[in-house]
């Protein structure tokens, strides 16, 4: 059962992250569309703590601004003097009867269930989240006595050759009683290889004072994988994507052509029997109804796609609502503010922006429709465009039900085309067209008799046609 003891969470996020070689603070680099720090704070909030404290240092203003949506008390670590020093900055505001959960802003995949298990294991004493690693390089080792009791943690740079053979390692994530922690932090020194105040030294002090120290094994090494450079960031990204793909397949029945070639950078709701092909990117909040299919290499952002609709490959769709049984693509772009009603068709190399496409209407290829309203059963011929921008203002085009627009037509907004009107191919519509009328340009095609193509002419200077 979850602990009922009062507790606070301290998130360490003060590091500059020089190895990222970036102007962006390390903890603000994204994993699956959200910054690492946002992910950690979301996990912390899911535990329902009494308070969350964020310890910032480098680029503190940017860090706080990026996480303004979270209920966090921010404290400044002006000098980065080690993990013990960082936690000490937050401790004055934490009551002695609290447990303190220490998290890291660059360890983004930790799960609430794991932290709950750690708190329960600590049971008012000290809890240390650990792992068993065949190759423990870089990690602090867990020291035990002959009876198995935890004596302390030794950081790798301070280990002896025999201690380096230990495969049980400290992940850095801990649960400690605030009253004791306050005393232990005051007793820390920098007599170590890195000249820092180690939070891990508190484990040895707890043992020496008879405070119970318990370990909790982490179920998944990726939960505690820290990020210090771009290589580790990419590895954590793929681990997160694998986790998301597996959850969607196992718990929601989503079909994925290749889970390793799927990217979710936000949230995705899926109905029954949906299928997503390879190299599709989902961003923001996307909802798929039953039997929706998404073709390869498509990008879908902040969009609702209703049941039975198929999006073919290489489409880009943003902030769009697509009704049932529509067909989009391939190579279509639906920009923000677009709605497609039931059974609409938007084909290859079509761009639609801020427009409503009525039920059963078709824009099958090579067209641009912007700031327009199309009724039901409209047919838009290839190469048609709405000329909606005059250089300063946007204007709308209104197209009634069952209108037929011939290929290569230009609809110069503002303009209205009445129900069942027909626009002849190549027509530039500059004024409203009445219902049931035919609109055509009155220009005639000029024909030149005896015309021969240049390649068929005899050049007097070169009978062979050369120059």
* % of the chain at pLDDT higher than 70: 97
Split at pLDDT 50, 70, 90, the class of 59 is confident
To the nearest whole number, what is the mean pLDDT of the chain? Answer: 94
111 is written with which tokens?
A: 């799960």
348 is written with which tokens?
A: 């290859």
Predicted confidence (pLDDT) per residue in 315-342, tens digit:
999 999 999 999 999 999 999 999 999 9
Please tell me the distance from the alpha carbon of residue 106 to that of residue 35, in angstroms, as a whole number. Answer: 9
Predicted confidence (pLDDT) per residue in 32-52, tens digit:
999 999 999 999 999 999 999
Q: Which of the four CATH numbers 2.40.30.10, 2.115.10.20, 2.60.120.10, 2.160.10.10 does domain 230-439 have?
A: 2.160.10.10
232 is written with which tokens?
A: 């580790």
pLDDT score, position 332: 98
Q: Which segments of 47-177 does DSSP mark as H helices, in order?
A: 60-66, 83-90, 112-122
Which of 207, 365, 393, 395 is labelled catalytic? 365
pLDDT score, position 455: 72
pLDDT score, position 1: 40
Query: Is 0.95 topped by the overall pTM?
Result: no
Homologous superfamily (CATH) for 7-224 = Spore Coat Polysaccharide Biosynthesis Protein SpsA; Chain A (3.90.550.10)
Query: Are 33 and 266 contacting, i.e. CB atoms less than 8 angstroms apart?
Result: yes
pLDDT score, position 230: 97
Average pLDDT, integer, range 147-163: 93
Query: Are 132 and 168 contacting, i.e. CB atoms less than 8 angstroms apart?
Result: yes
Catalytic residue flag (residue 191): no
Instruction: Cis check for the bond before 414: say yes or no (omega within 30 of 0).
Output: yes
- Reference 216, options 41, 3, 411; nearest CA is 3
Phi-psi region of 153 (alpha: psi -120 to 50; beta: other; left: phi over 0): beta
pLDDT score, position 264: 98
Predicted confidence (pLDDT) per residue in 299-317, tens digit:
999 999 999 999 999 999 9
Domain limits, the chain: 7-224, 230-439
């Amino acid at each position: 059962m979850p602990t009922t003891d009062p507790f606070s969470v301290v998130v360490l996020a003060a590091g500059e992250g020089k190895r990222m070689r970036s102007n962006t603070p390390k903890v603000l680099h994204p994993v699956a569309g959200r910054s690492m720090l946002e992910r950690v704070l979301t996990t912390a909030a899911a535990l329902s703590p009494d308070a969350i404290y964020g310890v910032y240092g480098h680029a503190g203003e940017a860090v706080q601004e990026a996480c303004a949506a979270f209920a966090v008390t921010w404290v400044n670590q002006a000098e980065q003097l080690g993990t013990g020093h960082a936690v000490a900055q937050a401790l004055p505001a934490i009551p002695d009867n609290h447990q303190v959960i220490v998290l890291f802003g660059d360890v983004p995949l930790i799960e609430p269930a794991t932290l709950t298990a750690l708190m329960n294991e600590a049971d008012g004493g000290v809890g240390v989240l650990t792992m068993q690693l065949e190759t423990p390089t870089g990690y602090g080792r867990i020291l035990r006595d002959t009876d198995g009791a935890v004596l302390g943690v030794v950081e790798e740079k301070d280990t002896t050759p025999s201690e380096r053979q230990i495969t049980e390692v400290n992940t850095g994530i801990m649960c400690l009683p605030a009253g004791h922690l306050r005393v232990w932090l005051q007793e820390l020194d920098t007599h170590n290889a890195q000249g820092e105040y180690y939070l891990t030294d508190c484990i040895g002090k707890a043992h020496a004072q008879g405070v119970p120290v318990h370990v909790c094994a982490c179920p998944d090494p990726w939960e505690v994988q820290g990020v210090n450079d771009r290589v580790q960031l990419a590895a954590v990204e793929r681990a997160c994507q694998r986790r998301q793909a597996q959850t969607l397949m196992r718990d929601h029945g989503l079909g994925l052509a290749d889970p390793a070639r799927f990217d979710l950078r936000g949230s995705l709701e899926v109905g029954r029997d949906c299928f997503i092909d390879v190299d599709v990117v989902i961003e923001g909040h996307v909802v798929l109804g039953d039997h929706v299919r998404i073709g390869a290499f498509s990008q879908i952002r902040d969009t609702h796609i209703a049941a039975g609709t198929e999006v073919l490959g290489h489409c880009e769709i943003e902030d769009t609502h697509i009704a049932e049984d529509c067909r989009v693509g391939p190579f279509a772009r639906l920009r923000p503010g677009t709605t497609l009603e039931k059974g609409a068709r938007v084909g290859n190399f079509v761009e639609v922006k801020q427009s409503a496409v009525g039920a059963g209407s078709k824009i099958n290829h090579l067209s641009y429709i912007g700031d327009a309203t199309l009724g039901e059963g409209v047919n838009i011929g290839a190469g048609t465009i709405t000329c909606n921008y005059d250089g300063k203002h946007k204007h709308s085009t209104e197209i009634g039900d069952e209108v037929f627009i011939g290929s290569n037509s230009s609809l110069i907004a503002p303009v209205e085309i009445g129900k069942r009107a027909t626009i002849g191919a190549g027509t530039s519509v500059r004024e409203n067209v009445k219902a049931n009328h035919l609109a055509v340009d009155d220009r005639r095609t000029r024909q030149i008799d005896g015309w021969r193509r240049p390649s068929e002419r005899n050049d007097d200077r070169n009978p062979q046609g050369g120059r």
